[in-house]
Amino acid sequence: MSSGKRTVLVIAAHPDDELLGLGGTVINHVKNGDNVYSIILGEGQTSRWSDRSDASSAVVESLHKDSVDAANILGVKKVFFANFPDNRFDQVDLLDIVKKVEETIEAVKPDIIYTHYRNDLNIDHRITYQAVLTATRPMQGEGVKEIYSFETLSASEWNFQESYFAPNYFVDISDSIEDKVKAMECYKSELREWPHPRSSQGIRTLAAFRGMQCGYGCAEGFEVVRCLASKLTSGFSLRSVNDTDCGLLYAWANDEDVRKNAFNTQPIAWNEHCTWFAKKMHDLKCSMYIFQNDRRLPLGQIRGDIVDGKIEIDYSIDKNQRGKGYGKKMLELFIEKSFGLAKTIEFIAKVKIENVASQKCFEACGFDKSIYDSNFIQYTKIIGGGVQL
């Protein structure tokens, strides 16, 4: 993914599916400056009557209002409605559903699509997935670069005869889980009491479970359906840390190897980290960045603190991304981003004697050893004053 603003389209079968599946992720997209749209293909609820025609039009209108109210909480720019018959998508020509999806894609021109899991219990969910794949066939010029499947409480986990939803992509929603629950409360006719999965506690429980799987406080999980990467040689960037990164930095800071290579080797408590994070976010002498690839997958973090007129560097790489040369690339991008802040900039970094990998990284980026003792090596690099980057 590029670091610029992206357009996201959520394609859901029924009112509340879009919220149950990725309400927290939508909030994160909006906070990141992305434009988010959604389309709800089915009218919802009318299958609860023996005959669809017995359902009052006021029922559907009320659900539409609930969807818009929930979308406003999440920050969705617009909700589209298709009004296909509830739980009767198999009675509609697939082509009609595909054309509606294509029409919406043409109007929105999304970079990313989120839709249902292929093996949900609900027939409408499965047909929605099929329609999305048909509408986004990977032909030359296709604008949709990423497609992800989300899980839907009371549909994904209840299909005992098919393969279970197995997420391989996780999004930290620790800071947005309560807004997700609040938005779900807009769906008064759909929200249930615990222990029904479609309850406030059910939403929090699933988020905690997915968070446990990946090291976040709360998370939403997705299956990657398709992801098209651009050129990998130039597909790395630094983005500024934002409020949603608190949990990610906490997980990285408490990584076993990171703590071993830190001067304070003790695990960091969550409350202590939150206090530190809030202070750094408002510190004008501190710059913090997330290093990411062109799919916007976080690979590591780098921080620069101005101390006595010098920029003191701290960095770490995600444990699953080490050994790929990312540390050197991240340092190069950080130096390039800092260049121009002053005529001359002096970067320093202190590395423990045991941390050979970081020593090689700083040396590969042209840092010189300025201090060397039995505990650490201090590296220095000066930019400006006739020294070329």
pLDDT digits (tens, 9 = 90+) for 27-76: 999 998 999 999 999 987 655 655 666 666 777 788 899 999 999 999 99
Contacts of 192 by beta carbon, 8 Å cutoff, 6+ apart: 198, 199, 202
Taking the CA atoms of residue 313, residue 314, residue 319 and residue 325 in that order, the dihedral angle to the nearest 10 degrees is: 10
Is the per-residue pLDDT at 189 higher than 60? yes
pLDDT band at 387 (very low <50, low <70, confident <90, very high): very low
pLDDT band at 147 (very low <50, low <70, confident <90, very high): very high
383 CB burial (10 A radius; 0-12, 13-18, 19+): buried
284 touches 226 (CB < 8 A): no
19 touches 187 (CB < 8 A): yes
Contacts of 137 by beta carbon, 8 Å cutoff, 6+ apart: none
pLDDT of residue 371: 82
pLDDT band at 16 (very low <50, low <70, confident <90, very high): very high
Buried b (16+ CB within 10 A) or exposed e, 126-154: bbbbbbbbebbeeeeeeebbbbbbbbbbb
Query: How is residue 91 written in tokens?
Result: 């009675």
